[in-house]
A and B are shown apart, each in its own frame.
Chain A
Amino acid sequence: MSTDVSNLCVLLVENLYGELTSRIFRFLLRDGRLSTPALRYHTGLSLRQVQHGLSVLVQQQLVFWYTSAEDSTVYEANTTVAYNLIRAGKYVQLAEEQLGNFAAVTVSNLLLLGHARVGDLVQAYGLDRTEGTNDPAAIVTQPSIKSIYNGSINTDIFSDKNRISLASVHMTLRELLRVGFVSLANESYFRSEADNRTEAGKVVPPPEHFRAKSKRDNEAQRETAIQEKLEEWKYGTRAEKEQYAPIVNGKKRQLDDSESLQAEKRRRLLLPPNGHALSARTAVNTSKLEGTNALNNDLVLCINHDKFAVALRNRGLTALADEAICKSTSNIYAEVLRKLETNTRACKESSDVPDIGDGPELGDLPYVSTDELVNVIKNSEELSETLGKVEGNSGNATELEHPKKRRKKKELESDDEALVVGDASPDEEEEDESDSEDGDESSDSEQANGDAEYSLNSHPKAPEDTHRRFIRDHLLLLAKHPHPFLQHMTETPVLPERWTIYYPPLMKSIIHHVLLQIITTRYGQPAARLTRLLSERGKVDEKNLCSLSLLNQKSMRSYLTTLHKSGMIQLQEIPRDNSRNPQRTLYLWYFDAERCRVKILQETYKTMVRCLQRVRVEGDKVKGTLEKASRTDVIGREEEFLGVQEREALEKWRQVEERIWGELGRLDELVGILRDF
């Protein structure tokens, strides 16, 4: 953990939870795991202060704790959650966009409260579980909101919801659970990864218990058992996972299938252990809530950061698709992502799976079929307008391409026919194919392109056919983009045409793109060109690079030196003989994307730290005025009590703060791309 990250986390904790908490947090980050007496010693706080501070930190899940056998408890900073504090605004916004106002309020309350019991949460809204839904007492009116100058300007999240009912609270919580923004707290969430493993090791029986042939097999079996246990703690019990499995694997999943499974799971979550058996269907479909349908009051909810990261990634991908292709394509892409989101628990989940080749395993990923999308997306007019049509026979993209590339692609094609690996030509042909097939009314005679492989595409052609074609065109566009936005799986006798996203290569290509973008803005276009050349060619000699980059040696050297100095590219020296004479040494330049990524990530953290420090400095400038504005007699009567200059200063401060936090949000997006997604 670098200093910058820990500084950043400490600053964030301080910004939100105050000085006592951040002081403890800082020492936990600096010194690693500490027990209460040790913390007391290091921080110089009183025992009472330490205990109170730790309670807050545990409540907000900002520290892990672990009580070992000797009955001493140690605490450890949880940097993930601490970092995610910066995303709080995004979380609330995402919840609002996807699930509406009240969900946003609930998410923000959960962020405020750390973890909370359902029963307490319901009570906090002024509702009692025992009260009937239609009881007028169960409806709480919203207090009018106070002041502009105290940051309560943004009360829009409360605005429509003047009245809430028990049913709506439970509804929202269920929805949040279903989407995954909120998860059920487990004790393992409060332990660090290593401690979780230790605990799992205690629970799982010793290797002798497994009756495998050899000792090694025993160990292996135990290892899998431990992994299972960890998984179980993280995502719920085994029974739940079993029901989850078909969805995750995407083998036999149909739309209805997944729905019912979801409902099944939800029902189990929602019902108290002794609850009446309610059919899964009704659990989904009943929009109005009966008593049995409510969440069990003893469930403890907390924010699920992993799922929010997935949602943020989807948002980022949609934005990128918009930037790279066009708005309506990105809309369709957003739809695909939304479909797949349900089955994605965490961003990095699939990367644990040892390298899925782009072979038939691709089918194991969750997928969306074209038909599902066609059903979801309604208006096709806009879609048709955004894609240009190729006239006549010139639609064969392979002809327009570089001969070398074409050859390469042909090889690829012959390698695996069924699967399209985000490459241009097969898709292109397919697109033409689909055009010629579906678009009879457009009377393009493209039979020349006819290919036996694709004539499988013989779905019932209803009036919505053109609609389907447009959507397909957009999807193909996505699949053949240099960033492999989508993976296309053609129709098989059993399965319909499907689309999936294989994240590792996609994220890799996006990271590369982002790195190059940063290099371009920092060091100029030629520097970016050099970097791109290096990443394509591997290690290149200076002379070669000179001829490849079409730059004269002098200017090329200046670019290379700047890049090298800032750590974007590296230099390798290979002596030709033992003397290590510089003149007899080869100098090879190369670009290590991973190293560059880490470098830029660290720089980003540093920038974020600087931003937060700047916020504080700017705040100190208007400290007196801020204090005055927060006085209880001033709140609500700013016009009367604050002078013109003071009001101006406050307004200016608000703008400055907004800009800095906006910048932080953007930097966080960058961190998301480089680290989390």
Chain B
Amino acid sequence: MPPSAKARQGPRVKKEGKGDLYRIGGVDIPYDPELELDNKPKPTPLFPEYKVPTARPLTAREKDQIAKFRSLRDSIHNGPLYTVLGDNARVGKSGNKPAASFNPFEGMPKYSQRYTKKRRTIPKLDTRPYVLKFFPRELWSTLDPTATETNGVIDSSTKGKSLQIPGYEKFNDIDADMSGDEGEEKGPKDPDEDDPLEGEEVDDEFDDDDDGGDYNAEQYFDDGGDDAGDDYDGGGDDGGGDYF
């Protein structure tokens, strides 16, 4: 047994005379078995040094461009066409129930909610006149319930409305409020506005709270009104924006 094993071990790897060719039993082997393996090449690093390319700083022109885009976008967002479906929107047949998607931390009605920007879930179309001939007939009643299917040119009933361009509202509107949301409240209330959290009801509740409020009874935020800001500036890193 041992001699035979020895014999097998012996000529296993043989260096032939020519070049650096190694053979086992007459078959070429693709690597060098006598290679020094101590300083073997390292595998390529998983996260090699990478120089993150940085963009050139914006030129004045580009900044101007972006500013213009932003102002346009803001006026679109403040306008009647912008919609936010949000979490409460009923999408799909089954529709998730409001209670299921209710966020117990942020979702509680707060006093400051009274000032939050009200987002539409459906565009408000009755604020301006339309050129009906550019709309398909089936949308005419949506755009203007009084529209007659005559010729597509504005009929006299829509003449009362005028375009609203931010910055060029009529004087009284500007004086009343510049937010543009006021207009919505003044306007005719949409009958099937299906947003449970929004609307005046919430506000009314808060008004009641304000009058004989239980929070005030605790006298916790006793000087709530004017000094709220100072209070907040002082320490307020907790609780986000809810001060009463």
B-contacting residues of A (Cβ < 8 Å)? 15-21, 23, 36, 43-46, 48-49, 51-56, 58-60, 65, 67, 73, 88-90, 92-93, 96, 104-105, 108-109, 111-113, 115-117, 120-121, 123-126, 140, 142-143, 145-146, 150-158, 185, 187, 190, 298, 300, 624-625, 627-628, 630-635, 640-641, 643-645, 658-659, 661-663, 665-666
Chain A interface, DSSP helix/strand/loop, else mixed: helix
**Additional pairs, 6, CB under 8 Å, beyond known A19-B84, A88-B73, A112-B165:** A23-B91, A112-B75, A154-B68, A627-B117, A631-B112, A662-B58
Shortest B152–chain A CB gap in Å is: 9
Within the assembled complex, what's the spacing in Å between the Cα atoms of A23 and B79?
A: 19
Considering the chains assembled together, what is the distance between the CA atoms of A148 and B166 in angstroms? 16
Contact with A along B60-96 (1 / 0, CB 8 A): 0111111111111111110101111110011111000
Contacts A17-B83, A126-B170, A633-B115 hold; do A624 and B241 have CB atoms under 8 A apart? yes
Q: Is B202 an interface residue (CB 8 A)?
A: no
Q: Is B157 an interface residue (CB 8 A)?
A: no
A640–B230 CA distance with the chains assembled, in angstroms: 8
Query: In the bound complex, how far is the Cα of B122 from the Cα of A18, in angstroms?
Result: 10
Interface assignment of B163: CB less than 8 Å from any CB of chain A: yes
Q: In the assembly, what is the distance between CA of A67 and CA of B152, in Å?
A: 14
User: CA separation between A18 and B76, bound complex, in Å?
Assistant: 9
- Residue B52 at the chain A interface, CB threshold 8 Å: no
| CA gap between A248 and B195 in the complex, in Å | 56
Contact of A300 among B91, B131, B233 (CB under 8 A): B131
CA distance A16 to B128 in the complex (A): 19
State the Cβ distance, A558 to closest chain B Cβ, in Å. 14
Could you say which residues of chain A place their CB within 8 Å of the CB of B73?
Answer: 15-16, 88, 151
Residues from chain A with Cβ under 8 Å of B58 in the complex: 658-659, 662
Tell me, in angstroms, the Cα distance from A666 to B137 when the chains sit together: 41
User: How far is B135's CA from A634's CA once the two chains are assembled, in angstroms?
Assistant: 40
Query: For residue A158, which residues in chain B have a CB less than 8 angstroms away from its CB?
Result: 167
Is B130 in the interface zone, CB < 8 Å from A? yes
Contact call A89/B229, Cβ cutoff below 8 A: no
Interface size class of B (residues with CB under 8 A): 35 or more
A182, B3: Cα distance in complex, Å: 100
Contacts of B123 in A (CB 8 A): 18, 20-21, 52-53, 55-56
Q: Is the CB of B67 within 8 A of A154?
A: yes
On whether the beta carbons of A124 and B168 are closer than 8 Å, the reply is yes
Show 27 residue pairs from A and B whose CB-CB distance is below 8 angstroms, ordered by the A residue: A18-B120, A18-B123, A19-B85, A45-B91, A48-B122, A52-B142, A55-B139, A56-B125, A59-B130, A67-B137, A88-B72, A92-B68, A93-B65, A113-B128, A115-B134, A116-B131, A117-B154, A121-B163, A151-B73, A154-B64, A154-B71, A156-B67, A625-B241, A627-B241, A633-B115, A641-B228, A658-B58
Return chain A residues, CB-CB under 8 Å to B135.
Answer: 55, 58-59, 65
B204 in the interface (beta carbon within 8 A): no
The docked-state distance in angstroms from the alpha carbon of A337 to that of B154 is 40
What are the 7 A-B residue pairs with the smallest beta carbon separation, nearest first?
A: A89-B69, A154-B67, A124-B163, A18-B83, A20-B83, A44-B92, A73-B136
Question: Which residues of the partner chain B approach A46 to less than 8 Å between Cβ atoms?
Answer: 90
List of B residues within 8 angstroms of A55 by Cβ: 123, 125, 135, 139, 142-143
* B134 lies within 8 A of A187 (CB): yes
Q: Which residues of A contact B115 (CB under 8 A)?
A: 631-634
Asked if B112 and A124 sit within 8 Å, CB to CB, the answer is no
Which residue of A has the minimal Cβ distance to B133?
A187
In angstroms, Cα B12 to Cα A287, docked, is: 103
Closest chain A CB from B200 CB (angstroms): 15
Q: Mark B84-112, 1 if CB is under 8 A from A, else 0.
A: 11100111110000000000000000001
Complex Cα–Cα for A116 and B164 (A): 11
Q: Name A164's closest neighbour in chain B (CB-CB).
A: B168
| Chain B residues, CB < 8 A from A15 | 73
Partner of B134, one of A54, A108, A300, A628: A300
Interface residue B21 (Cβ < 8 Å from any Cβ of A): no
Does B55 lie within 8 Å of A108, measured CB to CB?
no
Chain B residues in 8 Å Cβ range of A666:
55, 62
- B93 to A18, Cβ gap below 8 A? no
B150 at the interface (CB under 8 A from A): no
Question: Of A48, A54, A152, A659, which is within 8 A of B74 by CB?
Answer: A152
B36 sits at the interface (CB 8 A): no
Among B22-30, B43-51, B174-182, the one that faces the other chain is: B174-182
Alpha-carbon distance A20/B81, docked complex (angstroms): 10
Task: State A90–B67 Cα separation when bound (angstroms).
Answer: 10
A108 touches which one: B71, B79, B130 (CB < 8 A)? Answer: B71
* Closest chain A residue to B192, Cβ basis: A48
> What's the minimum C-beta distance from B112 to chain A, rounded to whole angstroms?
7
Q: Is B4 an interface residue (CB 8 A)?
A: no
Which residues of B lie under 8 Å from residue A630 when comparing CB positions? 116-117
